[in-house]
Amino acid sequence: MSAEDQKRLSGEAAAALVQPGMIVGLGTGSTAAWFVKALAARKLDIVGVPTSKATGELAASLGMKIAELGETREIDLTVDGADEIGPALALIKGGGAALLREKLVWEASKRCVVIADAAKRVPVLGKFALPIEVVAYGHKTTMARICVALSECDIGIAPRLRVKDGAPVLTDGGNVIYDAACNAIPEPALLAAALKSVTGVVEHGLFLDLAELALVGTDDGVVEVEP
Ligand code: 5RP
């Protein structure tokens, strides 16, 4: 089965968790798009809270009611993809540059479910370069301070500015992204704290202690993984 089919299966399984009347956080990326399409097809009376402009446009185009974070009562369930799923459902997210809005929505949700294809499961986080969202003003200076924070966690690399078509990628919030190719992050909580201590770092892509269930698409169907 292709990775895309595994993503579709996991998105469809997550759509089955949604009940009428729910407020639902809508993730970003290709797996989350399968979830949004499967959810829209159920035609439930729900309100979606998108984690990016792209997801908001997709949901609206499928006739889904959407609202901004903070315009509804508490979010019942958020479903979103991930770039890596490690032990205890620690995640790397932000490959689609939506990590800040994603984390805001995740943290405002009663329950978060991560969906992915099987290749996203890893024994140790860090092969996928960790996205770090940084205020555009003075970002090179901030990057130098991020290098110090990384070295304090025994990670001796310099993150790379994410560029597309010759220009820095800007997030929905107007910030830039640095990708830190750590290779291995044995202590994600330590790194998360070190990054958050750098002024100018808006958010990082480590999502720790947030997902309560992973629905992973495999060749044998959808596997449920708990922390
Ligand atoms: C976007 C994300 C995505 O969820 C992540 O990049 C996974 O994407 P895909 O489902 O396309 O593999 O974090 O910021």
The reply to whether ligand 1 has any atom less than 6 angstroms from the CB of 118 is no
Residue 174: band (very low, low, confident or very high) from pLDDT cuts 50, 70, 90: very high
Residue 205: band (very low, low, confident or very high) from pLDDT cuts 50, 70, 90: very high
102 is catalytic: yes
Q: Which domains does the chain have, with CATH numbers?
A: 3-121+208-218 (3.40.50.1360), 130-203 (3.30.70.260)
Residue 173: band (very low, low, confident or very high) from pLDDT cuts 50, 70, 90: very high
Residue 184: band (very low, low, confident or very high) from pLDDT cuts 50, 70, 90: very high
The reply to whether ligand 1 has any atom less than 6 angstroms from the CB of 81 is yes
The reply to whether ligand 1 has any atom less than 6 angstroms from the CB of 31 is yes
Atom of ligand 1 nearest to the CA of 80: 4
Ligand 1 centroid from CA 90, angstroms:
15
Q: What is the pLDDT of residue 33?
A: 98
Segment 8-44, tens digit of pLDDT: 999 999 999 999 999 999 999 999 999 999 999 999 9
Q: What is the mean pLDDT of the chain?
A: 97
Segment 89-101, tens digit of pLDDT: 999 999 999 999 9
Atom of ligand 1 nearest to the CA of 99: 14
pLDDT > 70 in the chain, percent: 100
The reply to whether ligand 1 has any atom less than 6 angstroms from the CB of 50 is no
Q: What is the pLDDT of residue 2?
A: 97
Q: Using CA positions, which residue lies closest to atom 5 of ligand 1?
A: 82
Residue 133 exposure: Cα atoms within 13 Å on the Cβ side? 22
